[in-house]
Amino acid sequence: MSVPITNTVYVLNGPNLNLLGTREPDIYGSETLDDIAGMLEDFAREHDLAIDMRQTNHEGMLVDWLHEAQAEGARAVLLNAAAYTHTSIALLDAIKAIRTPVIEVHLSDPKTREEFRHRSYVGMAAAKTVEGHGAKSYLIALEAVASGEI
């Protein structure tokens, strides 16, 4: 039985993103996760979307939330898996296992950073990747959902 698609967009954030605003602002910017949530909620309201924004430092929770997004009929998932981007085959498998489109989001551009950040397991299954635009990366990803691109 198919679940009807809703107007909800899950915005899932991985480890250490709760420290945005104070953690390496020269790389990640000075906006906090709450600042980003406010920006996304303002945009979502104007485009008849709803945001369900979450953060965890635990890989398995991100997997559970990806499964939940499909079960609840989410329109899409914006996923900033942070360091798990480069290590988590579990997240790769979870994205491949669901029908809900996932957009990979990064504040910085991993390809311009340390070599170990150049491989993205999340990106291997994501419908789109947005990176290197700071907090605006999230907004660009949400615009892709609102426009019907994703």
pTM above 0.95, yes or no: no
Check 28, 84, 121, 138 and give the catalytic one. 28
Of 29-38, 106-115, 135-144, the one with minimum mean pLDDT is 106-115
CATH superfamily, domain at 8-146: Dehydroquinase, class II (3.40.50.9100)
pLDDT at res. 1: 60
Q: Where are the domains of the chain?
A: 8-146
Q: Is 80 annotated as a binding residue?
A: yes
Q: Is 93 annotated as a binding residue?
A: yes
| pLDDT at position 109 over 90 | no
Check if 138 is active-site: no
Q: Give the SS3 label for residue 1.
A: coil
Check 10, 84, 106, 138 and give the catalytic one. 106
String of b and e for 77-89 (b: at least 16 CB within 10 Å)? bbbbbbebbbebe
| pLDDT at position 92 over 90 | yes
Q: Is 88 annotated as a binding residue?
A: no
Does residue 110 or residue 17 have the better pLDDT? Answer: 17
pLDDT of 15-34, one tens digit each? 999 998 876 667 666 789 99
